[in-house]
A and B are shown apart, each in its own frame.
Chain A
Amino acid sequence: MSNFTIPVGPLHVALEEPMYFRVDVHGETVANVDIHAGHVHRGIEYLATKRNIFQNVVLTERICSLCSNSHPQAYSMAIEKIAGIVVPERAEYLRAIADEVKRVASHLFNVAILAHLVGFESLFMHVMEIRERMQDVKESLFGNRMDIGANTIGGVRYDIDAERIGYLEQQLAWIENALIEVVALYRSNGSILGRTRGIGVLSHADALECGTVGPVARASGIRYDVRVKAPYAAYDRLEVPVHTLPDGDVWSRAMVRLAEAQTAIDLIRQCVRDLPDGPTTATTERPSIPAGEAIAKCEAPRGELIYYVRVGESPKPERVKWRVPSFMNWDALRIMLRQAKIADIAIIVNSIDPCISCTER
């Protein structure tokens, strides 16, 4: 057998976003992987220092479409910490609802793409159709399918009344039933199991070493979830189960995501049940933000998202810096891809749910 070096990406049919892997192969087997980044760098950290604090809520929302609620949420939390703004309780619950709605949609998207990469197109379509229900929920509650604009500095920009809660619960019930069917399929279908069991294994030790976060870490048995370890919004008042699996393969990561999507539905129900009355923002006008610096973190669908914001005398922040979960997780790809078959590269890359637009901003 001979050795070759083959490129995968940056534009590749099986990759959702541009990422370039230079793969050394020995026959059919991957011997070494070089990951090259930088194809979708847009200079957003610089742009953030050129816009005022309020405009940045929208800018951070547009870093990435799948975690488009987590970015402004972490950013708002950092600004609120600087200004000492106390978010009203109702707003905290509404933030948690927005977070979980996005989580369901994001996880279902990734699991659907897995079916697509396996070649199970009808399952891909089916899961995307279930996700479409969540998209309808987002459009109905927040006014947009992806950039839901739920957060603002000091609270939330949306509210739900009895009629909307009724609609939300009706949709959740439908999605919940559909998910039970889908989870059983992913658990037992031969095509799925054959392509995902024992593929792209990341051991517990390696997962710790790479500092992986989110479903990637939890599928390798690391019990780490920001919603539990450092609760924000209303999560300290909610019962958040952490799903872990021991094997760390592609299948485990998909199953953790499916379980989290199911849990998210339950969390939304808890929020709706306990939703207190009151205002949705701390101030009706734009609050004044003093100079200062702060760090905030939240659990994005892909894992821990950390924001650092420094504000000076100007209305524009001096520095906004964030560390996204994919940055930690894509390092683990080197280990997952070792000794993998060429045909499995796309499935393994997808299994970390890479968000290149977040990571390269």
Chain B
Amino acid sequence: MKFFKIFARNLIQGPSTIAFPFAPAWTPERLRGRIVFDLAGCTGCRACEQVCAGGAIRFDKTPQGLRFMMWHNTCVFCGLCTFYCPTKAITQSDDWHMAHAAAHKFEMAIREVIPYTTCSVCGLKTLASAPNPVGVVPPFSAEEIEQHRQLCAGCRKKAMAERGATS
């Protein structure tokens, strides 16, 4: 008998389900969805590749530079890449609309290249990656990031020593 009260209440309240796909589905702000990659923020440290549980993230060297490759269909949405990324260049959006026709499966990927550049000080061929901000006090300014991007590893070290920061 006790259930009749619940039954009547549920009947008056109407359906608890949502009308998806004919109406929008509620999505919380923090939902760990589709990976978003910001090339400008990538330091090329490859931490994301090392922790990626599904092996969805790969780096390889191309004639143009260091290529970041990420396959959405291999991703398990665990968020370890985001968690360990020192610059948060890799993040997760709340987009979970990943259904696609099989014909488009090879397009379900992120392919971006950190290009090679020549060091503005010594002229050495180097990657135009963002500098690693871990332990840098005070933090890099936007200008400094762009300066470091044009430096090779050795010259970055020198620049850091001149800056007086511990890294």
- Report A's interface with B, CB cutoff 8 A: 51-52, 54-55, 57-59, 61-62, 122-123, 126, 129, 132, 136, 139-144, 147, 149, 152, 157, 181, 184-185, 188-189, 284-286
Contact = CB atoms under 8 A, between A and B. Distances in A.
Contacts of A152: 80, 83
Contact of A140 (B16, B28, B47, B84): B28
A57 B80 contact: yes
Contacts of B7: 122
B80 A54 contact: yes
Contacts of A136: 26, 28
B28 A51 contact: no
A189 B32 CA distance: 41
A123 B79 contact: no
B33 to A, nearest CB: 8
Nearest to B26: A136
Q: Is the interface of B mostly helix, strand, loop or mixed?
A: loop
Contact of B32 (A55, A57, A122, A143): A143
Closest 4 CB pairs of A and B: A58-B53, A143-B32, A140-B28, A58-B78
Interface of B: 2-3, 6-7, 10, 16, 26, 28-32, 47, 50-54, 76-80, 83-84, 86, 92, 134
A52 B84 CA distance: 14
A122 B3 contact: yes
Contact of A129 (B16, B32, B51): B16
A132 B84 CA distance: 31
Given A54-B50, A126-B10, A286-B84, A132 B32 contact: no
A166 to B, nearest CB: 14
Contacts of B83: 152, 157
Contacts of A189: 2-3
